[in-house]
A and B are shown apart, each in its own frame.
Chain A
Amino acid sequence: MSFLEGALLALTLTLPFAVYRLVKGPTLPDRVVGLDLITSVSVAMAALYALVSGQTAFLDVAIALALFAFLATLGLARYIEYRGHKGD
């Protein structure tokens, strides 16, 4: 196992912390924070896998994942802000 494969393995150990926050809550914005950290770690894993496998196409995966994470966070924030307000 090379150093970068070990680094990829170490990166997966951060995921249970974020999943804990995603499951436990206690409020909806807390869950969104956990989801945000999960996508950040996924972007980092895609970038590291571009190093491990030598296929630079995984950088495009990282860019698309970051874009979707940003849009999802904005959409969920807008939902949290305006839920319950009819007509908004």
Chain B
Amino acid sequence: MVDLLVYALASVGIFFLFVAAIGVVRMPDLYNRMHATSKAGTLGVGLILVAVAVFYHELSVAARALSALAFIILTAPVAAHALGRAAYLSGVKPCEDTYIDELAGHYQKNHRLESVEVKPPVADPSE
């Protein structure tokens, strides 16, 4: 029974790692590819680590597996955000199907986000 649960968790984890690998090859631009690795990849690795924690009925092993899982869940969004910000600031363009770039014109020369002074246009009530 426990073996079946372990096999199911490992299989689903491997499936999501496959999804991440296919997404990294097939997605049109860098920002879409980062979605594939940081979401599907993290889920796949996490499910495999949960399978390890279920398989061994020891507290020390389960604690190590779950702490590895917690570390990955905490660091994957940070790494993806840092990489996406660096790519955007170094001029990597989104794919051609992208038609809204809300960050355009909001970054200053020193890579600070300027969100206060640039206001969206307000509709004139007199018209």
Chain A residues with CB under 8 Å of chain B are: 3-4, 7, 10-11, 13-15, 17-18, 20-21, 27-30, 32-34, 36-37, 40-41, 43-44, 47-48, 50-51, 56, 59-60, 62-63, 66-67, 69-70, 73-74, 76-78, 80-81, 83
Contact = CB atoms under 8 A, between A and B. Distances in A.
B106 interface: no
Q: Is the interface of A mostly helix, strand, loop or mixed?
A: helix
Contact of A40 (B7, B41, B51): B41
Interface of B: 6-7, 10-11, 13-14, 17-18, 20-22, 24-25, 30, 33-34, 37, 41-42, 44-45, 48-49, 51-52, 55-56, 58, 60-61, 64-65, 67-68, 71-72, 75, 78-79, 82-87, 89-90, 92, 111
Q: Which of B24, B33, B67, B71 has the most CB of A within 10 A?
A: B24
Given A15-B21, A37-B41, A67-B71, 11 more contacts: A14-B14, A17-B22, A30-B33, A37-B21, A40-B41, A40-B42, A47-B45, A62-B49, A77-B79, A77-B86, A80-B83
